Structure 1
Amino acid sequence: MTEQPAVERPTQRSRAKADRRAALLDAAAALFAERGYNGVSIEDLGSAVGVSGPAVYRHFPSKQAVLAALLVDVSQGLLDGGAAVEERSDDAAGALRDLIAFHVDFALGAPDTIRVQDRDLDALPTAERREVRRLQRRYVDVWTHVLGTLHPALGADELRVRVQATFGLINSTPHSARIGSEPVAEAQVRPVLERMAWAALTSR
């Protein structure tokens, strides 16, 4: 009988560190969205999660590193999630509907991150900005592959335009899904976004 290798379990300290890192990123998304990257200090980030400003440096070496982690992590999460959706779907039409639902989930769940991405991407160092763009291109590729399978007559340029336009539609929700200063209920927004995205992607 082959002895199985021991599975290393996270310690309480490592879990606490991971939780604090996640809390800092959540706080950064909210603060950067509200004030802009340049309007937020390390002390503001620490205060938002109940620690001193210098304690933030135990998790991130700089404010730029916080922004980089926020945008790289979300870009990687979208790519991984989109690839998983495609892999588990039985056909192209089902995959496209599931990709739409997946991205709507993201847009409704992370409006602050979308605002930060739109406004503060250029504040990243060059290497991290390029990594975000690389991950985003690969995420677009997942969508264009599915859409191209569903509509093989469409050329590569049109596939990409349709996908990018659909992202623009769905990602507008931090601004468009409001009446005055009040957000519209998710139950009202979601079906509208999903119908419009499907129409934009599959119109002939």
Structure 2
Amino acid sequence: MPSSPRRRPKNRKASIALAAAELFCARGYHNVGIEDIARAVGITGPAIYRHFPTKQAILATAVDELGTSFAECVHSSDAVDVPAERLRTVLPALVRFTFDRRAVARLYQWQGRHLDPEQRELLAERFDGSVRTLRDLLLQARPELPKRDAATLVAAALSVIASPATHRAALAKTQAERTIVDCATAVLTADLPAPRSAAPRGYRPEQGALLPRRERLLAEAVRLFHERGYHEVSISDIGEAAGINASSVYRHFASKADLLAAAYYRASSRLELATSEALSDAKTPAEAMLRLVDTYVRLSFAHAEVPAVYAVESENLPAADRHRLRVEQRRHVDTWVGLLSELDPDQPAGVLRFRVHAAFNVVTDLAGSGGASVNAERTAALVQHALALANHG
């Protein structure tokens, strides 16, 4: 009997975009080819071009789908009259969406850097419109808030909601969703300290004139990777920014990937030392936890580019370095979870781990966002709420 002709799925284009997005998040945009996407979907490479002219067009469709779904979640409670109740309805919808798209939600961290300017502008406009809707809802529910503070709280809550896409910790789905909803709610109901003048964050080129060559190269590499993306920066670019001939760069680093790894190791060592100093003479778990939060936030704001670059470029590390750095990151997370367990022994470690990763994502996003209403002190306060530290004095 002749076999039935194979029917092309009606949603083939969406399937291609989703498969590509998962690969982009797992491997990095530049490390994925059209043939990789085709294999993931189960078709040939040329068949991809029936639906998309370029890999960039696939990415644009994937990001557009995320933006559309995000907007649908934000407007899912438009029929509800009470603003506070609308927020309580929207948060679970956004959290469910994040878990349903956990493998691709990290695309938001790329800031559209791989899209052309017109695509980037259209997608930013859609996303910003949805964020403004959430901000206005929060202002209606909390009319005492200044508009900028409401925007900061919404940005932090969205970082909490997106955080499951930034780690691999496991937890029962219902419990994980409840944890993230509670965490985001705690952030939206937080009272922020009065704003102060924000200190300059991150490395600035004029700061590095007297640094040793190796340190200057590390600092300039991270800055350029953050501004342009790892694959758009050459060894020559880094050397020129540091005032060093390209050939001399190789006396310090064997390759651009080694330079990227060295920057992360330096940041990891800095954090480990600062953490030890912060905890060395703490008298109670609560005091130790507050010191840990302040230390982490302070370092993140002082070196804002490093966590931002790690979030989007870690797949470009050599495999051995990537594994080692992830082990070091898990060890740091374990320190936080251990202290939180002493404060709240009834909470499962998995729940606390999700809260810690949510807190980290808030710090990464806010430290890199700029804005007069965002500083280290206010970010630390939001982290305390995300971790439910306010319940422990």
Q: Tell me the TM-score normalised to structure 2 length.
A: 0.44
Cα displacement string for residues 76-133 of structure 1 (whole angstroms, at most 9, x for unaligned residues): 3223322332232111111111111111112211111122101110001110000110
Contact 1:42 1:53 (8 Å CA) reproduced? yes
Contact 2:305 2:368 (8 Å CA) reproduced? no
Contact 1:25 1:66 (8 Å CA) reproduced? yes
Contact 1:101 1:194 (8 Å CA) reproduced? yes
Q: Does 1:137 align with 2:323?
A: no
Contact 2:279 2:292 (8 Å CA) reproduced? yes
Contact 1:100 1:197 (8 Å CA) reproduced? yes
2: CA distance, partners of 1:89 / 1:174 = 26
For 2:248, what is the secondary structure of its paired residue? Answer: helix
Cα displacement string for residues 18-43 of structure 1 (whole angstroms, at most 9, x for unaligned residues): 82111110001100000111111111
Question: Map of 1:11-160 to 2, 5 A cutoff?
Answer: 19-160=212-353
Structure showing greater Rg: 2
The one-letter code sitting in structure 1 at the alignment partner of 2:375 is V
Q: Runs of 4 or more off by more than 3 Å in structure 1?
A: 174-177
2: CA distance, partners of 1:170 / 1:124 = 23
Which of 180, 195, 198 lines up with 2:381 in the alignment? 195
Gaps of 5+ in 2: 1-210
Contact 2:279 2:288 (8 Å CA) reproduced? yes
2: CA distance, partners of 1:51 / 1:177 = 30
2: CA distance, partners of 1:88 / 1:81 = 13
The one-letter code sitting in structure 2 at the alignment partner of 1:198 is Q
Quote the residue 1:10 is aligned against: none
1: CA distance, partners of 2:369 / 2:246 = 35
Percent of paired sites with the same residue = 33
The one-letter code sitting in structure 2 at the alignment partner of 1:52 is N
For 1:172, what is the secondary structure of its paired residue? Answer: helix
Contact 2:239 2:245 (8 Å CA) reproduced? yes
Cα RMSD after superposing both structures: 1.7
Quote the residue 2:21 is aligned against: none
Question: Map of 1:172-191 to 2, 5 A cutoff?
Answer: 172-178=365-371, 184=372, 189-191=375-377
Quote the residue 1:7 is aligned against: none
Contact 1:82 1:142 (8 Å CA) reproduced? no
2: CA distance, partners of 1:30 / 1:82 = 24
Contact 1:114 1:174 (8 Å CA) reproduced? no
The one-letter code sitting in structure 2 at the alignment partner of 1:192 is R
TM-aligned CA deviation for residue 191 of structure 1 = 2.5
Gaps of 5+ in 1: 1-17, 179-183
The one-letter code sitting in structure 2 at the alignment partner of 1:26 is A
Query: Cα–Cα, structure 1 residues 97 and 122, in superposed 2: closer, same or farther, change >3 Å?
Result: same
For 2:280, what is the secondary structure of its paired residue? Answer: helix
1: CA distance, partners of 2:329 / 2:212 = 26
- Equivalenced residues, count: 180
Bigger share in helix: 1
1: CA distance, partners of 2:337 / 2:277 = 15
2: CA distance, partners of 1:149 / 1:86 = 14
Query: Cα–Cα, structure 1 residues 67 and 174, in superposed 2: closer, same or farther, change >3 Å?
Result: same
2: CA distance, partners of 1:177 / 1:44 = 25
TM-aligned CA deviation for residue 73 of structure 1 = 1.9
2: CA distance, partners of 1:90 / 1:52 = 51
